[in-house]
Structure 1
Amino acid sequence: MEEGGKMKKVVISCSVFYKELLDLTGDEQITIEFLPQGLHDIPDCSKMKDQIQAKIDQVEAQKDYDYIILAYGFCSGGVEGLQTEKASLVVPIVHDCIPLLLGQKDIKDDLDSNRTFYLSRGWIDCSGDTYKHYLAMTDQIEQWIDRFEQYQKEDEDALVEWPDLDQYNIIRSYDQDTAEYISYQCLKGYQMIALIDNDKLAPIHYQYAQQMHNFIEDILIRNGGQKLDYKEVEGSLEFLKKLLYFDQLDKTEREELFLITPSKKPLQLEKYII
């Protein structure tokens, strides 16, 4: 704890939140360590857990903190078992990142989240979504790479992480029908594309979301599925702000929103998984 009673905090975050967190912290001295969005793409989440744990170990070796804040949801168990040596570990009690982007813990009254493909600035900039994979498999991704490179030149805060194109060296020989079939199998359960607008979007994000919607809807219809809805949803930074400054909340709200695990104790999610 610093002089004056101020807690020393560091944030370890998925890059999907990069713009929101940078704007929320502003000039304040809160260190943020970003990790790639794609860590939870592996079904058993082992890569995600290992890299977050490595980052926890790294930041604790560099400096003594009172709290290490994880800007992650439970992510299918990807944060289960994480542990600190000295700091307490803080994680929001949400299954994924969407409630943090929308600013509310329970979003099921607004949209059927199980059948909605959510996009945000960070998701578009940093994720390897199915549309990008399809474009890579069919040698069409360079058009978007060029557009995002221009966007980065115009916005100094932009962080763009593209999927590793080397992994497509073998499957780039797939014909378009095969690439579409693979994409359809990934997308056939969705009923809506929802773009989360929290005042952080640039024109390229609206363009990308709309073209991704057109791509998915076309595949669904041609394979006997239904039309795909598109919606722009107002987001909020309130939940993320509370995460950053959880120590300023009253005890009841803090315990309702966040799981705080003391040092040397593995983070356990069992009672929160439903």
Structure 2
Amino acid sequence: MNTLIVACQTIEDELNKAIGEIGCNYPVLWIKSGLHLQPDSLKECLQCELDHISNVEQVILAFGYCGNAIIGLKPPTYRMIFPRVDDCITLLLGSCKRRNELSGDGGTYFLTKGWLESERNIWIEYQEAVKRYGREKAEKIYSIVFKHYQKLGVIKTGAYELENYLEKTKKIASELKLQYEVLPGTIEYIKKLLTGPWDPREFITINPGETVTMEHIYDVDGQLSKSDQCTIDSKL
């Protein structure tokens, strides 16, 4: 089947690794990672790209719900498949259940190389706040921002040398007064997204001309099981 991948640059390392391991030759259309901070802008960008795609039978959308940015999207003439995850963090951890297990009782702020290198992230914003308000005031502001978080979880996906980022991520954890952890990640969910079969418990399939609605994120019974729902933490 003639297929195109539309993916967020935030998971570029992991997607490229998955593509290499399974020998996939689908072309990839990359979407700027900074757009995930503005769901409406991301939705507008995605729909614009979808409207201009032609000569394909299938689009694999390597995105999560991303603040409901995918709600309202409509593939004009091809079917579209995307993972049943709230965001790419869940995709890289393997499941909502795994995400909730790793979060534990305290909130976890997740981080990967992709988020660290994105155009806008909380670390950049924190540094800008220090320059603008001074360290003392910036720390007070971010103590409120992070009042529900106890840990900074750096996801080890195996798609890059994590050691090159340990010093920086430890500094981020220290500055934001969060416990530091390296957490095991996976690219297996991404591989399944690329190859199928697409179990409806893990993936959502949208037919040509169909519009993504809130109902699509639920299972056939109209409700996800508790273990399949994410306790939403955040990421840089």
Question: Normalised by the shorter chain, which TM-score bucket?
Answer: 0.7 to 0.9
2:204–2:217 Cα contact (<8 Å) kept: no
Q: CA RMSD in A?
A: 2.1
SS in 1 for 2:73: coil
What is aligned with 2:214?
A: 269
Letter in 1 for 2:29: E
Q: What residue is the counterpart of 2:93 in the other structure?
A: 102
TM-score normalised over the length of structure 1: 0.72
- Alignment-mate amino acid for residue 206 of structure 1: L
Does residue 254 of structure 1 match 2:213? no
Sequence identity of aligned pairs in percent? 24
CA contact (8 A) 1:130 1:186 kept: no
1:206 aligns with 2:151: no
| One-letter amino acid matched to 1:51 | C
Paired residues of 1:86 and 1:264 also in contact (CA < 8 A): yes
Q: CA deviation at 1:178?
A: 3.1
Q: Which amino acid aligns with 1:69?
A: I
Per the normalisation by structure 2, the TM-score is: 0.82
Counterpart residue type for residue 233 of structure 1: L
The one of 34, 41, 49 equivalent to 1:47 is 41
Q: Is the 8 A contact 2:85 2:95 kept in 1?
A: no
Equivalent residue for 1:19?
Answer: 13
Q: Displacement of 1:189 after TM fit?
A: 1.5
The structure 2 residue matched to 1:196, chosen from 132, 141, 155, is 155
Q: Displacement, 1:130? A: 1.9
Q: Summarize deviations over 1:121-158 as a string: whole Å, max 9, x none.
A: 2111225222221223445xxxxxxxxxxxxxxxxxxx
Whether the 8 Å CA contact 2:83–2:193 is kept in 1: the answer is yes
Q: In the alignment, residue 255 of structure 1 is paired with which amino acid?
A: P
> What residue is the counterpart of 2:186 in the other structure?
236
Letter in 1 for 2:174: N
Distance 1:51 1:202, change over 3 A: same
CA distance in 2, matches of 1:12, 1:112: 32
Whether the 8 Å CA contact 1:121–1:201 is kept in 2: the answer is no
In the superposition, relative to structure 1, how do residues 238 and 254 fare at CA in structure 2: closer, same or farther (>3 Å)? same
Equivalent residue for 1:29? 25
> One-letter code of the match for 1:9?
T
Q: Secondary structure at the match of 1:38?
A: helix
Q: Do 2:109 and 2:152's aligned partners in 1 also have CA atoms closer than 8 Å? A: yes
Equivalents in 1 of 2:216, 2:97: separation in Å?
17
Q: Name the residue aligned to 2:108.
A: 116
Contact kept, 8 Å, 1:16 with 1:127, in 2: the verdict is no
| Bigger CA radius of gyration | 1
Tell me what 1:70 maps to: 61
The one-letter amino acid of 2:214's match is: L
Query: Gaps spanning 5+ residues in structure 1: where?
Result: 1-6, 140-171, 218-227
Q: Give the counterpart letter for 2:5 in structure 1.
A: V
1:271 Cα deviation from its structure 2 partner: 5.6
Q: Shift in Å at residue 17 of structure 1?
A: 0.6
Aligned to 2:134, which of 166, 170, 175?
Answer: 175
Q: 1:56 corresponds to which residue? A: 50
Structure 2 Cα separation of the partners of residues 271 and 79 of structure 1: 11
Counterpart CA distance in 2 for 1:194 and 1:202 is 13
CA contact (8 A) 1:131 1:215 kept: no
1:15-37 CA-to-partner distances (Å, cap 9, x unmatched) read 11100111222364211111122
1:262 shift after superposition: 0.5
If each structure's strand is expressed as a fraction of its own residues, which one has the higher value?
2
- For residue 86 of structure 2, give the secondary structure of its aligned residue in structure 1: coil
